[in-house]
Structure 1
Amino acid sequence: MKKTLLLIAVLLITLSCSHSPSQSKSTRNISAHTPGEDQFWNELSMEAIEEKESFFDVLEENHPALYNQIITDAKDPYLPMFWGQSYNFDSGAKKIIVDPKIIGELQARFNIKNDNNIVHAGIIHTYGYLFSVINTPYGYKRKRWIAPTLNFAFNMEANSLSPEAIEGGMFSNITFFAGSLAFKDKTQLSLLKNVANEVFTFDYSKLDVTRVEEILPEYTLVTTLVKLPRKKAGEENDYLLIYSTISKKLNKELLVTAFPVNQDSYNKIVASETLGPDQKITLRYNAYLQDLGKDLKGIRKLIKN
């Protein structure tokens, strides 16, 4: 009888351990992958979501360099002001883009609080997208930052437009880079404190830039298309797309997102039949504007540098 009871006790302890959080965590081998692989980010994201410890504890343990980027970026009070708002929902996949726990902790680090549904566009489209686990027809959302496309195209030898940035923070670097190309008034970008030297000193005037302005009574929606100066063999993309908004009432330009696109996408955006007055205007790329109406009509204007 005693042997039977002892055997039952051992079995119960074994079953309990096999379902404990620590055991679950130990079976996820994040270190088996590199930050250049989706599996690394997916494993890291799932551990942050499932474990009781904070997202930042998991990040510091598994990617301390990126952890330090975010901590340093978050000390810059000016950084968030260059971006608008975005939905944390992919209309194509019909799924939340970044888990509320992760986006909530990221936003809190930058002193931004909301319902994690309508979120800070810069935080979700840079650091947030690294930890999105939904796959789309175009790949994971993080592809724009972990693929070598942009750093190679613009000769960023310190990987400044990626989570492997050697100098500055990815969020700060992307903000300065995108703002320098999309904004008409670039003066306030100099307030940013954590920008890599190669981004700060880059000669933006040498780039081939096309703008499509969608003009509405209270807003102008701007799509900036930057020809990639160089491409690796087999690279599918030809342009960097930067989407931004201009509030006429506030006289304020705000970034929404940035990602590479191919020639076909460029051709559709600049197609002559979509230009001119009385064109249908749609807010794109998960952007959110609180007081924007529906069934919008406006002027679409093409501007070539």
Structure 2
Amino acid sequence: MTIDDLLGAAARIDAGESPRSVLEGSLLAAQIAQDASADRFSLWGLSTVVDENTGTPVISPALFAELHRLAGLDATWPVGNAGLIHVYGYLLSTVSTPYGLKRDRWVNGDVARALGLEPSIFTPWFGPASDGTPLHRLTAALSPIFDAPEQTPGVEFVTHESSDRVTATTVLVRHPGSGHSALLYAVNGKLLTAFPFEISASSIASLQAEPPRLRYNAVVDAPRQPLDTRRVLALPSLDQIRQAPATADGI
């Protein structure tokens, strides 16, 4: 598969062709099957396909249903598996958002660069089949960070927002060599998303100024359990950030 193959498949689905017929026999379908066989989707939480910035779905109900059928997962529109939606759904999404197309984070390689990895590592066409799938490689990259964010090189900020039944963790990481940075998010120990994010005193202040809530299209099984004001800032304090030497990214 190449970027042209991916764009072609996305365009055909967007034009109304059946997602099942477009994806049948494709590399994406094979990779989803590999992830399902290895039970990788269980490491990811729930997400809505309705983007919180635009208020509109980033993929169609037909594509949503086909992706979950390929993964062998039960899902009721618009809430499904975050790994399936944020990797494969985003790769096939043609909906514009204020931050560009959803697939850009994987195709442009910015998240990979922030993690110090090969830029194309989260694309379907990276390496031989023995190197796994995009979801496999992303899961392998993110899981150790959430296991011990305070001990992970490059992590500059960690915050936990919680209620009695929900704990959401935001991690900001920057690769010192490339200067690229990203935001990583997990809920109740399940991975949720990752995307490019410019780390600066102002961007961190904005995160801290918002009341605790579920973010980035996350959904939990107990939607009436809002996050409360118990927020723990793990790294570093905003005063430390303000006192740090200036860099090209504004810190």
Determine the structure 2 residue equivalent to 1:207: 154
Query: Which whole-Å deviations, capped at 9, do the CAs of 1:143-190 have from their partners, x for residues lacking one?
Result: 1000022334444348322233212100111112111112359xxxxx
Output aligned runs, 1:114-193, within 5 Å: 114-157=75-118, 159-166=120-127, 167-184=131-148
Whether the aligned pair in 1 keeps the contact of 2:48 and 2:218 (CA below 8 Å) is: yes
Letter in 2 for 1:240: A
Are 2:164 and 1:217 equivalent residues in the alignment? yes
Q: Secondary structure at the match of 2:229?
A: strand
Contact 1:55 1:102 in 2 (8 A): no
1:206-241: CA deviation from partner (whole Å, max 9, x where unpaired): 333421111222222110111123337xxxxx4221
158 and 119 in structure 1: CA distance in 2 versus 1, 3 angstrom threshold: same
- 1:51, distance to aligned residue in structure 2 (A): 2.5
Deviations 1:239-277 (A, max 9, x none): 22111112xxxxxx111111110124x743356964xxx
Closer, same or farther: CA 142–298 of 1 in aligned 2, 3 Å = same
Distance 1:105 1:300, change over 3 A: same
Seen in structure 2, the aligned counterparts of structure 1 residues 271 and 141 have a Cα distance that, compared at 3 Å, is closer
How far apart are residue 124 of structure 1 and its match? Answer: 0.3
Question: Out of 230, 235, 241, which is 1:304 matched to?
Answer: 235
Unmatched runs of 5 consecutive residues or more in structure 2:
237-251
Change in Cα spacing, 1:273 to 1:131, as seen in structure 2 (3 Å) is: closer
Q: Does 1:51 align with 2:13?
A: no
Give the number of the structure with larger relative contact order, counting CA–CA contacts within 8 Å between residues 6 or more apart: 2
1:153–1:108 Cα change, 3 Å: same
Match of 2:243 in 1: none
Please give the root-mean-square deviation of Cα atoms over the aligned residues, in Å: 2.9
Any idea what SS the aligned residue of 1:281 has? Answer: coil
Aligned mates of 2:35, 2:207 — CA distance in 1: 41
Change in CA separation of 1:269 and 1:154 when aligned onto 2, cut-off 3 Å: closer
Alignment partner of 1:243 is 2:185: yes
Deviations 1:109-143 (A, max 9, x none): 22102223111111001111011111011100111
Corresponding residue number in structure 1 for 2:240:
none
Once residues 199 and 206 of structure 2 are traced to their aligned partners in structure 1, the CA distance between those partners, rounded to angstroms, is 12
Which of 292, 300, 304 is matched with 2:223 structurally? 292
Task: Name the count of aligned residue pairs.
Answer: 230
Distance in 1 of aligned mates of 2:207 and 2:99: 26
1:75 aligns with 2:25: no
Distance 2:29 2:72 in 1: 17
Pairing 1:280–2:246 present: no
Identity of aligned residues (%): 26
Whether the aligned pair in 2 keeps the contact of 1:45 and 1:131 (CA below 8 Å) is yes
CA distance in 2 between partners of 1:255 and 1:97 (Å): 19
The separation in 2 between residues aligned to 1:155 and 1:280, in whole angstroms, is 31
1:92 matched to 2:28? The reply is no
Greater C-alpha radius of gyration = 1
Contact 1:210-1:224 at 8 Å conserved across structures: yes
The list of structure 1 runs, each at least 4 consecutive aligned residues, that deviate by more than 4 angstroms after superposition, is 270-273
Query: How high is the TM-score relative to the length of structure 2?
Result: 0.79
The answer (yes or no) to whether the contact 2:46–2:82 under 8 Å persists in 1 is: yes
Change (3 A) 1:136 1:46: same
Judging changes above 3 Å, is the alpha-carbon distance between structure 1 residues 272 and 226 closer, same or farther for their aligned structure 2 residues? closer
| Letter matched to residue 182 of structure 1 | F
* C-alpha spacing 1:74/1:161, structure 2 compared with 1 (3 Å): same
**Paired residue for 1:104?**
65
- Mapped partners of 2:225, 2:167: distance in 1: 15
Contact 1:132 1:142 (8 Å CA) reproduced: yes
Output the CA distance in 2 between the equivalents of 1:41 and 1:272.
Answer: 34
